[in-house]
Amino acid sequence: MKYPLKKKSTEAVKVIVRIRPPSTKEKKDGRQIITSADPYRGRIEVKNPIADESEPPKCFTFDSVFAPTCTQKEVYDVVGAPVVQSVLDGYNGTIFAYGQTGAGKTHTMEGFPSDPDLRGIIPNAFQHIFDHVTLGSTNENYLVRASYFEIYNEEIRDLISNSPKTSLELRESSDSGVYVKGLASFVVKSISEIDKLMQKGHKNRTVASTQMNQGSSRSHSVFTIVIECCTTDDHGEHIRMGKLNLVDLAGSERQSKTGATGERLKEATKINLSLSALGNVISALVDGKTNHVPYRDSKLTRILQDSLGGNTKTVMCANAGPADWNYDETLSTLRYANRAKNIKNKPKVNEDPKEAMLKEYQEEIAKLREKLSAMGNDDGGKNSLDVSNSISDKVLRKLEEKSAQEVANLEAKSKEQIEELMHQHLQTDEEKQNLQEKLEREGIARKKIEEERAILKDKLKKMETEIMRGGEAVDLAAKHEAALRKAEQELITRKEKELALARLMEEKEDEKVEIEEKYTSLNEEIEGKTKKLKKLSTKYRRSQTEIKDLQTEFQAERNEMLDTIRDLDRQVKLKELVISSFVPPEFAHKLRDVSNGGCAVWNDETGRWTIPRPDPATFHVPLSLSGLYGTFRPETDYARRRRQYDSNVRYRQDNVLDLELDMPERTTEEYTGPDMITRAMKILEENAFFNDPRKSPLIPMDQPTKNPYLHYSSDVSITECDQSKREYHH
């Protein structure tokens, strides 16, 4: 089945803006609501809280806007459903939420999956995908895979693997484009299975508390769903593959408002840098004069490379707050989204892609069936059945049961015949023993074949269950839901066309009035030109305010970039100090860039500097120098003369490792057991205080303790010596 493309192959990125309701804190603080949304005209108005009342509000027009009273289902019907349906048709699709921290991005993307009314875009996409598979055609087979990762501090982490803190690398190939090496991908067969993956990844995602948001996401997360569909018709099999990226970006934030310090400040710096790189990519795509698009400035932009200007249908959902204290952030978000409207993508259907796994699954299933068929033919000589794909599972099950029963009957009958023959014809114990061993060997071989067959059947069953066939389980509720969704999509498409026509008519009417103004009287002319003057005056003041705001925003961004540059400069100076203090000068130059005479090379894949290993062929170890008179090493004349009469090792040419060690002087005695016991018993017998309880065994304070290993001249001399010492100290 071919899917013809339209002549106009480019389409703009669809931009949606959602305004969240005021938070409890904002209501408690009495914050002013400055942002209003007009869903019928697709317009957002933002009023400057510190400006004069006469200053007009700033207006922005988008594809769709949502007021704070909108529901999650309304957002999904406009934002998610068209993209998911395109992915089911074989296109690549991306939905990403952007906005300041605490603007409701995670609520828009995830929501509360347990509550049907509060489910976000991701859980609703799950329902949409599996409803489509359930209600699909019977000649369609589907394979659905899912993966989930985050970008934390410019490190990619797999959120659903057993080691979610391990950093992964980005790779790029000509077939699949940019991909994450080593990222786990799981085949899912139901909503519950894919929802478990999302919940597991959500628990592993990095979240922290700030002054603006108690559950602030500290990383960008990407949930990817790959849907492969194999359609069989009269012309053969055709495979199409769609890839859906559901991106929840971390919020841009200012340190003065979030109060981030330490690790939170480091995270905020990385988040703002990646979002700044994303803004530069959008600006470069919009600007027709720029030939270079800086996708490689960040891992986020590399992953979204195909979604921005590539083969993808992309929807950007910008989230903003309504309160006055978020005026600067809201204005920056709306300008950001307004630029993204002009990005042009070139989506196309992915037919028979090289990286499709469905074809591999079908080939593996065919091989397993051939093995099982061959093993069935060799076992017991039973007749094989040629079961084609057209036979239903019920008929196939009956045939298998019948053949198994026949095999069991034949085995029982043959066993009886063998036993009868053994009793009739076998006379000697030796013949009985040989036949018994032969039967045991055949039984072991048959058991081994049965085990191999069971393993192959389990593997075949598992692979067949992973491939879902369209229209297998028709649920009336799901069928009704799909019909309702289709009707809602048609209604939304009609409203979008009406909104586009209304905008076009308004522009044309303004142009017509300006060109074809005719007045019947002087007063009418004065009144008409006064209205025009007021209108132009309002536009002029609005333009002046816009220029002033842009200058203020530019200065704020410039200050933030300068702070980032200062922080990076401090890190560079710290590393230079460490190198100059601890790295020898002959090796320090190797840590420089190759262009500056060093050995360090920047790796775009890992985003790190690396020093390649030296080539052993070009690496030469300097030879040691020998002495002038044939000695092993050079020596001075003084050492050579001194060596003639001085035996010190310092002046010798011998290898120090071959010399004998100079043992220290011994200060201990060898223990002699029997002799020591005899001496101890003699001392105990001579001491009478052990037999006289009136005498204390304690040694008097004025008597020194005798060491049995020292020889004293006499007690009198010791006492006199001790007395003289005490007199000296006194």
**Could you tell me which of 260, 244, 286 has the C-alpha nearest to residue 124?**
244
Q: Which is nearest to 245 in space by CA: 96, 391, 360, 386?
A: 96
Whether 363 and 335 map to the same domain: the answer is no
Find out whether 470 is annotated in a ligand binding site.
Answer: no
* Residues 466-499: tens digit of each pLDDT: 556 655 555 556 666 666 767 776 777 777 777 7
Asked whether residue 281 falls in the same domain as residue 205, the answer is yes
Q: pLDDT by residue (tens digit) across 682-704?
A: 766 665 444 555 544 444 445 55
Pair (94, 215) in one structural domain = yes
For residue 708, what are the domain limits?
685-729
Give the pair of three-digit tokens for residue 502.
Answer: 């209304």
CA 14 to chain centre: 26
Lowest mean pLDDT among 37-46, 91-100, 181-190, 621-630: 621-630
Query: Dmax over Cα atoms in the chain, in whole Å?
Result: 148
Task: Identify the pLDDT of residue 84.
Answer: 92
The whole-number pLDDT of residue 383 equals 38
Q: Looking at 583-591, list the stretches that DSSP marks H as alpha helix, in order from N- to C-terminal side.
A: 585-588
Q: Which residues contact 699 (CB under 8 A, 6 or more apart)?
A: 705
pLDDT, tens digit, 9 for 90 and up, residues 542-564: 777 778 777 877 787 788 778 87
The answer on 343 and 391 residing in a single domain is no
Beta strands in 103-139 (DSSP E): none
Task: Report the range of poorest mean pLDDT among 230-239, 262-271, 450-459.
Answer: 450-459
The per-residue pLDDT for 359 is 60
Non-local CB neighbours of 551 within 8 Å, separated by 6+ positions? none
- Residue identified by tokens 């490792």 is 657
**Contact predicate 95/247, CB 8 Å:** yes
DSSP assignment of 210-252: -SS-TTEE-SEEEEEEEEEEEEEETTEEEEEEEEEEEEEPPPB
Residue 655 maps to a domain: no
Residue 254 lies in a domain: yes
364 and 352 share one domain: no
Asked whether residue 521 is domain-assigned, the answer is no
* Tens digits of residue pLDDT in 412-422: 777 777 776 66
Count of CB atoms situated within 10 Å of the CB of 336: 20
Q: What is the predicted pLDDT for the residue at 148?
A: 93
Contacts of 90 (CB under 8 A, 6+ apart): 3, 229, 240, 241, 242, 349, 350, 351
Determine whether the annotation assigns residue 106 to a binding site: yes
- Give the three-state DSSP class for 329: helix
**Which tens digit of pLDDT belongs to each residue from 199-221?**
999 888 888 877 777 778 888 99
CATH of the domain at 40: 3.40.850.10
Query: CA-to-CA distance for 25 and 477, rounded, in angstroms?
Result: 41
* Residue with the larger pLDDT of the pair 697 and 135: 135
101 is in an annotated binding site: yes
Half-sphere exposure of 188 (CA within 13 A, CB side): 25
Does residue 314 sit in the same domain as residue 409? no
The answer on whether 166 is annotated among ligand-binding residues is no
Determine which helix (DSSP H) or strand (DSSP E) holds 608, and give its type and residue range.
strand 608-610
Asked whether residue 627 is domain-assigned, the answer is no
42 is in an annotated binding site: no
Selection from 517-526, 575-584, 709-718 with the highest mean pLDDT: 575-584
- Outline where 467-521 has alpha helix (H): 476-515
Residue 4's pLDDT band, with cuts at 50, 70 and 90, is: very low
Least reliable range by pLDDT among 46-55, 57-66, 334-343: 46-55
Both structure tokens of 529: 């030109």
- Claim to verify: residue 328 and residue 362 sit in the same structural domain: no
Question: What does the angle CA 315 – CA 94 – CA 170 come to, to the nearest 5 degrees?
Answer: 140
Q: Which residues pair with 151 in a beta bridge?
A: 156, 220
Dihedral (Cα; 202, 205, 209, 214), 10-degree rounding: -20
Provide the pLDDT confidence category of residue 225 given band limits of 50, 70 and 90.
very high
Does residue 673 lie within any of the structural domains?
no
- Per-residue pLDDT tens over the stretch 440-459: 777 777 777 777 766 666 66
pLDDT for 507-554, tens place per residue?
666 666 555 566 667 777 787 778 778 777 877 877 777 787 778 777
Interstrand relation of 608-610 and 601-603 (parallel, antiparallel or unpaired): antiparallel
Which tokens belong to 559?
Answer: 């200050």
- For the chain, how many structural domains are there in total? 4
Query: Is there a binding annotation on residue 104?
Result: yes
Q: Are residues 106 and 186 in the same domain?
A: yes
pTM to 2 decimal places: 0.63
- Asked if residue 428 and residue 308 are part of one domain, the reply reads no
Contact between residue 107 and residue 115 where contact means Cβ atoms under 8 Å apart: no
Q: Is residue 522 part of a domain?
A: no
Residue that finishes a domain, picked among 451, 469, 487: 469
Q: Is 90 annotated as a binding residue?
A: no
> Hunting for tokens 């040989």 — which residue is that?
434
Helix (H, G, I), strand (E, B) or coil at 704: coil
8 Å CB contact between 241 and 177 = no
Q: Give yes or no: residues 364 and 409 share one domain.
A: yes
Q: Are residues 326 and 438 in the same domain?
A: no
Cα gap 514→529, rounded to integer Å: 10
Q: Is residue 51 part of a domain?
A: yes
Contact status, residue 149 vs residue 222, Cβ threshold 8 Å: yes
| CB-CB contact of 128 with 485 (8 Å) | yes
Would you say 99 is a known binding-site residue? yes
pLDDT of residue 94: 92
Same domain for 297 and 426, yes or no, is no
- Final residue belonging to a domain, choices 582, 608, 641: 582
In whole angstroms, what is the distance from residue 99 CA to residue 694 CA?
95
pLDDT for 565: 85
Q: How far apart are CA 617 and CA 628, in angstroms?
A: 31
Rounded mean pLDDT of the chain?
76
Percent of the chain with pLDDT strictly greater than 90? 10
Residue at a domain's end among 551, 582, 613: 582
What is residue 452's three-state secondary structure? helix
605 in any annotated domain: no
